[in-house]
């Protein structure tokens, strides 16, 4: 029933309101004595020499990509896992085939060095 989900909606709305108040509210309460040093980027007391918007290792991108692939496969697992009791071997066989393909893909990426962090 859709009406069962109404409390979830109420919860989300109240939580968002609470988050907004918690972020904005304290700035009305505290003192405000700002100067140039306070508003500079923190770099352990050094004078910041460059913007942080620059290139960073591609490894993070790689991890995100592999995660996307695997996470979508994991999503397929949930409905399968819940109905396995009723469908038994009938559901096990196709998912087994799918998982074998997945494992081969995983081994391939492993051998290709996609999981190697240090180079």
Partner 1 sequence: MDWLNLVILPAIRVIIMIFVLLTGAAYLTWYERKLISRFQIRYGPNRAGIYGLLQPAADGIKAIFKEEIIPNHVDKVIYLMGPALALIPAIVIWAVIPIAKETPAIADVNIGFLWILAIAGVESYGLILAGWSSNNNYSLLGALRSSAQMISYELPMGVFLASVLMLAGSFSLVELVQNPRPWWEWIWLWAMFPFFFICILAETNRAPFDLPETENELVAGYQTEYGGMKFSLFMIAEYINMITTSTIMATIFFGGWKLPFGILQNVVILGPFVLLAKVLVLLFLFVWVRASIGRPRYDQLMSFTWKFLLPLSLVYMFITALLTIQFK
Q: Please give the residue ranges that form the binding site for partner 1 (CB under 8 A).
A: 3-8, 10-12, 14-16, 18-20, 22-27, 29-34, 38-44, 50-53, 56, 59-60, 63-64, 66-67, 70-71, 74, 77-78, 81-82, 84-85, 88-89, 92, 95, 99, 102-103, 106, 110, 115-118
User: From the CB of 108, what's the least distance to partner 1, in Å?
Assistant: 14
- What does DSSP assign to residue 112? T
User: From the CB of 107, what's the least distance to partner 1, in Å?
Assistant: 9
**Residues 6 or more apart whose Cβ sits within 8 Å of residue 77:** 95
User: From the CB of 5, what's the least distance to partner 1, in Å?
Assistant: 6
Question: Which CB atom, from 47 or from 89, has the smaller least distance to partner 1?
Answer: 89
DSSP calls for 41-74: PPSTTSPP-S-S-S---THHHHHHHHHHHHHHHH
Nearest to 72, CA basis, from 28, 105, 40? 105
């Amino acid at each position: 029933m859709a009406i069962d989900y109404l409390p979830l909606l109420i919860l989300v709305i109240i939580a968002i309101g609470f988050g907004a108040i918690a972020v904005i509210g304290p700035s009305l309460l505290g003192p405000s004595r700002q100067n140039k040093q306070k508003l500079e980027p923190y770099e352990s007391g050094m004078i910041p020499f460059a913007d942080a918007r620059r290139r960073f290792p591609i490894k993070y991108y790689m991890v995100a990509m592999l995660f996307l692939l695997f996470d979508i496969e994991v999503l397929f697992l949930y409905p399968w896992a819940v109905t396995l009791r009723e469908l038994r071997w009938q559901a096990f066989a196709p998912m087994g085939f799918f998982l074998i393909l997945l494992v081969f893909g995983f081994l391939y990426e492993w051998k290709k060095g996609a999981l190697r962090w240090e180079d």
